[in-house]
Structure 1
Amino acid sequence: MSLKLSLATELKDALRAGEKCKLNTLRLIMSAINYAEIEQQKELDDAAVHVVISKMAKQRRESIEAFQSGNRPDLVALEQAELDILENYLPKQLSREEITVEAKKVIAETGAAGPRDMGKVMGKLTPMLRGKADGKEVAAVVTELLKQ
């Protein structure tokens, strides 16, 4: 079963169970997927759906930071609940050690020698880790490795 179909099934289950937060979050996901399909003029596969959901998760993380700095714990709790639901539909995120291993492989492949070669490394590494790791984390690891 595709991810899109399983989301629709879980939406119905959340509606029947009366889980308001999960229902609202799933509706947001389905809406974002529909907008992306209209924009790209094709039906999205599971990888593209993961990209949509990861964008939504990133927005929630940024909102949480903003609400924490604005001293709004009520909104932080709401965004965190939505983020937890979104993360259930994303692939398992790589740890820093796993990112480091992949980055070292790409650095060896490209022959990168210093910080000025970061573009070469990130150009190859980003598509490999898309959806599996946060871009900021990947960039931090690559910067750290290239400075050595």
Structure 2
Amino acid sequence: MIANTIDQEIKQAMLAKDPAKLRGLRAIKAALLLARTEKGSAEEITEETELKILQKLIKQRKESADIYKQQGREDLSVIEEEEIEVISNFMPKQLDQSEVEALIIQIIKASGATSVKDMGKVMGLANKELAGKADGKLIAEIVKAQLA
């Protein structure tokens, strides 16, 4: 569980006086705490939920960094990229496009999908199988290309 590691990492970052790492870790801790205290949520967060939260944090920071770059604010873009790096350390190894494609082809064969009409079914299986290991946008593009 990521939540158990975060507090220790925060202490180490404070002692090392590493502001970038500290920002990223605090963002993770805040997001996990928010998810844990949301109305109707279970007492403990599953590892799958933790990965979804981390993916969301990374996606938000990538979007912000892109906007800052477009506006010529490299100083702010660098901060977002530092946080992405810290948060990424808690994610499983990301698969490259060929690995994702091979897994999706297996999923399509196993599910019996034959056309784009089956995309929803394949996406559900693929997202479950590749949770945290690949970007959702990449998964969708490959599934669409394979079923077309």
Q: Which residue identity lines up with residue 33 of structure 1 in the other structure? A: L
Residue 112 of structure 1 corresponds to: 113
Any conservation in 1 of the 2:51–2:131 contact (CA below 8 Å)?
Answer: no
Within 5 Å, give how 1:14-53 maps onto structure 2.
14-39=13-38, 40-53=41-54
CA deviations 1:20-53 (Å, max 9, x no partner) are 1111221111111111000114122333222211
Q: Output the CA distance in 2 between the equivalents of 1:35 and 1:78.
A: 23
Q: Following TM superposition, by how much is the alpha carbon of 1:142 offset from its aligned partner in structure 2, in angstroms?
A: 0.8
The residue that corresponds to 2:65 in the other structure is 64
Q: Note the alpha carbon deviations across 1:99-136, whole angstroms, 9 max, x for none.
A: 11111111112222222221121122111111111110
Runs of 4+ in 1 over 4 A off after TM superposition: none
Distance 1:138 1:73, change over 3 A: same
**Counterpart residue number, 2:103:** 102
What amino acid is the match of 1:126?
N
Which whole-Å CA distance do the structure 2 matches of 1:91 and 1:52 have between them?
13
Could you tell me which residue of structure 1 aligns to residue 6 of structure 2?
Answer: 7
For residues 119 and 137 of structure 2, the distance between their equivalents in structure 1, rounded to whole angstroms, comes to 13
Distance in 2 (CA, whole Å) between partners of 1:110 and 1:50 is 25
Tell me, which stretches of 5 or more residues in structure 2 are unaligned?
none
**Root-mean-square deviation (CA), in Å?**
1.4
Post-superposition offset of 1:12? 0.3
Q: Is the 8 A contact 1:22 1:85 kept in 2?
A: yes
Structure 1 CA distance, aligned partners of 2:45 and 2:61?
A: 22
Partners of 1:79 and 1:70 in 2: how far apart? Answer: 14
Deviation string 1:59-95 (CA, Å, 9 cap, x unpaired) is 1111112122222111111100110111011111111
Q: TM-score, normalised by structure 1?
A: 0.91
The letter of the residue matching 1:5 is N
Percentage identity across paired residues of the two chains: 34
